């Protein structure tokens, strides 16, 4: 059996090359990649500057951008000055309208006119990218809008943001990946149980993002996945608070570095204080799914805060609040008595974006957070839970007073201006928030060099060393759950029946997997299970949101995309390798017992699966989720407690007496990985 080896030295070379290329682009010189320019530091930033619209001011051999075009070097333009001095100077020059615009982040306009309106007229300097352009095209477009921003009154640059865009996925949820990715899903990264790999991923992705001019991430989603029916389990790191915390630390340090700098991507860790305890798994984008639920005493502090504390300790730049509402009737004791709203009311019954106890008392005062709070999308409108009776200016005012600095997916700052004009806020109330946002911009080096080189962006994206490391991650993420009949690995010449169960996408995905399997000269794909030596069946279900809105359904059925009767028929016909893509911990007791072998995937490349099936890689992954024993276990689960910690016998147990619990995984020696 051939086993792939890690190539950490190659990854280090790739990261070094990426950083060197970015330095080269920033310097605007012909310096060789192996000898990047010397960036002298002052005020925490490099002195290599580029202006495409405004003049350059020269003082001796030093250059500065004249961002307001007044012909003199102002404090905020002087990279030699401390950042806090530069920020204070710029805030003092900004109008109320410019400050209100700074506190909004919206999606890039659908048309150039939209973007011109957002940046030029409404003074919005934070734009979210929600598409998947090629890296070279992305960099070209971002440069175009940075030129426009440079031409505005104060020349404040744009911060381009994106949701995660580096992962394989086929079932898009709200945590969408806006670009085709090479890496396994986030659950897959967790399943590798390899923190060095996670750090490599973050550093490789950082180089790719920075080279394209994307400097802020709406991620990662580190909510502890304690409710198995939640439709966003797919984009968490699973149900383990300690593992999620360890991963979070590596992600923040990998994307940001020890401190934000010109080669950093600022992280926005979400959704504080933890979106996992979603009532019956319902979708909080809808009113019927708005409720957080903490029925287990102490669960908030015991299980849900650890990843966020890890992010704070690593120096995360921003944190996103969730918008689930609190209903005290659903909650057991969680908060210190001194934090209660009254003797009878523990939580203020509003979304976290409006909850001062959550954002200020807990996050900032108790956990030590120094960055800024970014709301989730929609909290001013459709997901304004608990504040439905407030006017728009009143919602802005309450959120700012709770601790919010920037409002997501809002392209009109007028409501915030109205809050000031109506006396609900003062202009001075905005200043600390504007200062936090500008501090991030200065630390990222955007006031000196907001531009990137498109050709370099494409080169960095295509580095073979990076692709090789992502391939390793895909293989490491696969978990072997059962192989008691020793059907795996499938060796030698075999006839194979292949089928994918993925709801409406079943036929398309089956054809693709058949084509891939057929590239192996020792395997012959046959049309029926009866003709085969072995069957390869890959289940790729998706959560079914019941029209009754009583709970989200994760039982395998045609509703979730799986024809259980057909799966059982295949298993009864030939030895079946049953592969289950665990975007959620599905109820699998209808299909697991009669499989010859069972494998778990977490949004991976199909060729990585075949490497495991054919024995080219010895599976090493561990479950990041506990699989429930049956529907009764799901019905009785505590939404705020991870599956491994449930107070009853929650986990599925196979006929080999193994429990599919968090941390379980076999190798081809049939031993449980410790």
Q: What is the pLDDT of residues 419-443, one digit of tens each?
A: 999 999 999 999 999 999 999 999 9
Judge whether residue 9 has pLDDT over 90: no
**What is the C-alpha separation between 574 and 556, in angstroms, rounded?**
21
Would you list the domain boundaries of the chain? 75-459, 478-645
In three-state form (DSSP H/G/I as H, E/B as E, the rest C), the secondary structure along 614-670 is: CCCCCCCCCCCCCCECCHHHHHHCCCCCCHHHCCCCCECECCCCCECCCCCCECCCC
Q: What is the pLDDT of residues 17-37, one digit of tens each?
A: 444 444 444 443 332 223 333
Question: Which pLDDT score, from 0 to 100, does residue 517 have?
Answer: 97
Which among 195, 24, 101 has a CA at the least distance from the CA of 407?
101
**Catalytic-labelled residue, pool 376, 418, 453, 603:** 376
Helix, strand, or coil (residue 60):
coil
What lies within 8 Å, CB to CB, of 157 at 6+ separation is: 125, 146, 149, 150, 441, 446, 447, 450
Q: Are 556 and 539 in contact (CB under 8 A)?
A: yes
Strand order through the sheet with 407-408: 372-374, 318-321, 266-272, 214-217, 159-162, 126-129, 104-107, 407-408
Do residues 668 and 619 lie in contact, with contact meaning Cβ atoms separated by under 8 Å? yes
- Token code pair at residue 324: 């689930």
| Per-residue pLDDT reduced to its tens digit, 593-631 | 999 999 999 999 999 999 999 999 999 999 999 999 999
At residue 353, does pLDDT exceed 70? Answer: yes
Topology adopted by domain 75-459: TIM Barrel (3.20.20)
For the stretch 252-279, pLDDT in tens is 999 999 999 999 999 999 999 999 999 9
Read off the pLDDT band of 671 (50, 70, 90): low
Residue 25's pLDDT is what?
40
Q: Please indicate whether residue 3 or residue 576 has the higher confidence score (pLDDT).
A: 576
Query: How far apart are alpha carbons 401 and 424 in whole angstroms?
Result: 10
The pLDDT-based confidence of 181 (bands split at 50, 70, 90) is confident
- Strand, coil or helix: 214: strand
**Length of the chain counted residue by residue:** 674
pLDDT at residue number 237: 98
Q: How confident is the model at residue 482 (pLDDT cuts 50, 70, 90)?
A: very high
> What kind of fold does domain 478-645 have according to CATH?
Rossmann fold (3.40.50)
pLDDT at residue 672, rounded to an integer:
59
Contact 204, 253 (CB under 8 A): no
Chain-centroid distance of CA 217 in Å reads 8
Query: What is the reported pTM?
Result: 0.93
Gap between the Cα atoms of 555 and 61, Å rounded: 68
Question: How far is residue 332's CA from residue 285's CA, in Å, rounded to a whole number?
Answer: 24
Once rounded to an integer, what is the mean pLDDT over residues 381-409? 97
pLDDT given at position 558: 98
CA distance 268 to 589: 38
At residue 446, does pLDDT exceed 90?
yes
How many whole angstroms separate alpha carbon 287 and alpha carbon 547?
13
Report the sign of the C-alpha dihedral through residues 182, 188, 189, 191, in that order. Answer: negative
Q: What is the mean pLDDT of residues 223-236?
A: 97
Per-residue pLDDT tens over the stretch 493-516: 999 999 999 999 999 999 999 999
Residue 484: how many other CB atoms lie within 10 Å: 14
In 3-state terms, what secondary structure has residue 317?
Answer: coil
C-alpha to C-alpha distance for 253 and 245, rounded to whole angstroms: 12
CA-CA distance, 347 to 355, in Å (whole number)? 9
Contacts of 423 (CB under 8 A, 6+ apart): none
Between CA 281 and CA 304 the distance in angstroms is 16
pLDDT of 43 strictly over 60: no
Strands (DSSP E) contained in 273-431 are: 318-321, 372-374, 407-408
Cβ–Cβ < 8 Å for 546, 585: no
For this structure, is 533 an active site residue?
no
Task: Write out the two tokens for 220.
Answer: 């990662």
Please state, rounded to an integer, the average pLDDT across all residues of the chain.
Answer: 92
Question: In a 10 Å sphere around its CB, with 0-12 CB exposed, 13-18 middle and 19+ buried, how is residue 431 labelled?
Answer: middle
For 654, the token pair is 């196979």
Checking 367-370 for CB contacts under 8 A at 24+ apart, the result is 367/305, 367/308, 367/309, 367/312, 368/312, 368/313, 369/312, 369/316, 369/319, 370/312, 370/315
Q: pLDDT band for 669, please (50, 70, 90 cuts).
A: confident
Question: Interior CA angle at 317 toward 312 and 319, to 5°?
Answer: 70
How far is the CA of 263 from the CAs of 254, 414, 577, in angstroms?
11, 34, 45
- Our CA angle for 50, 432, 265, nearest 5°, is 45
How would you label 356-380 residue by residue, b for 16+ Cβ within 10 Å and e otherwise?
A: bbbbbbbbbeebebebbbbbbbbbb
pLDDT at 218: 96
Hey, how many other C-beta atoms are within 10 angstroms of the C-beta on 56?
A: 11
- Percent of the chain whose predicted confidence (pLDDT) is above 70: 91
- Of 74-83, 96-105, 173-182, 282-291, give the lowest mean pLDDT range: 173-182
* pLDDT class of 323 with cuts at 50, 70, 90: confident
Per-residue pLDDT, 389:
97
> For residue 271, is the peptide bond before it cis, meaning its omega torsion is within 30 degrees of 0?
yes
């Amino acid at each position: 059996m051939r086993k792939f080896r890690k190539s950490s030295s190659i990854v280090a070379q790739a990261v070094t090359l990426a950083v060197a290329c970015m330095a080269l682009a920033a310097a605007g010189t012909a310096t060789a990649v192996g000898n990047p320019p010397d960036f002298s530091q002052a005020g925490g930033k490099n002195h290599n500057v580029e202006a495409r619209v405004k003049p350059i001011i020269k003082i001796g051999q030093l250059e500065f951008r004249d961002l307001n075009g007044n012909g003199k070097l102002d404090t905020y333009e002087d990279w030699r000055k401390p950042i806090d001095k530069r920020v204070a100077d710029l805030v003092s020059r900004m109008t109320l309208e410019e400050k209100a615009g700074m506190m909004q982040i919206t999606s890039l306009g659908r048309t150039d006119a939209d973007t011109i309106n957002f940046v030029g007229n409404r003074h919005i300097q934070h734009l979210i990218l929600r598409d998947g352009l090629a890296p070279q095209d992305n960099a070209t477009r971002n440069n175009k809008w940075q030129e426009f921003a440079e031409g505005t009154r104060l020349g404040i640059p744009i911060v381009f943001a994106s949701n995660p865009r580096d992962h394989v996925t086929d079932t898009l949820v709200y945590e969408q990946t806006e670009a085709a990715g090479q890496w396994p899903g986030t659950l897959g990264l967790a399943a590798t149980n390899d923190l060095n790999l996670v750090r490599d991923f973050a550093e490789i992705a950082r180089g790719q993002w920075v080279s394209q001019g994307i400097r802020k991430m709406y991620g990662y989603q580190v909510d502890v996945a304690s409710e198995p029916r939640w439709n966003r389990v797919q984009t968490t790191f699973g149900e383990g608070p300690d593992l999620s915390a360890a991963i979070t630390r590596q992600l923040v340090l990998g994307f940001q570095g020890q401190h934000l700098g010109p080669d950093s991507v600022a992280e926005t860790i979400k959704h504080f204080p933890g979106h996992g305890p979603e009532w019956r798994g319902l979708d909080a984008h809808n009113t019927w799914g708005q409720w957080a639920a903490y029925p287990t005493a102490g669960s908030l502090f015991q299980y849900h805060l650890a990843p966020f504390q890890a992010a704070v300790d690593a120096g995360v730049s921003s944190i996103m609040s969730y918008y689930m509402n609190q209903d005290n009737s659903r909650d057991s004791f969680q908060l210190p008595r001194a934090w209660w709203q009254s003797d009878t009311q523990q939580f203020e019954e509003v979304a976290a974006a409006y909850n001062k106890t959550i954002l200020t008392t807990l996050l900032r005062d108790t956990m030590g957070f120094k960055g800024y709070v970014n709301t989730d999308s929609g909290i001013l409108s459709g997901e304004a839970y608990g504040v439905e009776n407030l006017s728009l200016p009143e919602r802005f005012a309450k959120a700012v007073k709770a601790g919010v600095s920037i409002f997501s997916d809002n392209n009109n700052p007028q409501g915030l201006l109205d809050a000031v004009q109506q006396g609900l806020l003062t202009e001075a109330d905005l200043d600390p928030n504007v200062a936090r946002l500008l501090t991030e911009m200065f630390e990222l080096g955007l006031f000196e060099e907001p531009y990137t080189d498109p050709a370099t962006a494409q080169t960095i994206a295509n580095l073979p060393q990076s692709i090789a490391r992502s391939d390793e991650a895909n293989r490491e993420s696969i978990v072997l759950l059962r192989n008691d009949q020793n059907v795996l690995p499938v060796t030698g010449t075999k006839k194979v029946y292949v089928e994918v169960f993925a709801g409406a996408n079943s036929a398309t995905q089956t054809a693709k997997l058949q084509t891939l399997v057929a590239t192996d000269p020792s395997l012959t794909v046959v049309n029926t299970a009866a003709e085969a030596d072995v069957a390869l069946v890959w289940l790729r279900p998706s959560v079914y949101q019941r029209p009754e809105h009583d709970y989200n359904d994760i039982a395998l059925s045609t509703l979730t995309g799986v024809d259980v009767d057909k799966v059982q028929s295949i298993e009864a016909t030939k030895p079946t390798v049953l592969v289950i893509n665990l975007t959620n911990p599905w109820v699998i007791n209808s299909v697991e017992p009669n499989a010859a072998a069972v494998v778990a995937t977490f949004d991976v490349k199909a060729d990585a699966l075949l490497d495991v099936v054919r024995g080219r890689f010895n599976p090493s992954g561990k479950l990041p989720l506990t699989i429930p024993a049956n529907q009764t276990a799901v019905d009785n689960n505590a939404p705020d407690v991870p599956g491994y910690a449930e107070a009853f016998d929650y986990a599925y147990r196979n006929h080999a007496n193994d429990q599919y619990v968090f941390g379980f995984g076999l190798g081809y020696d049939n031993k449980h990985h410790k």
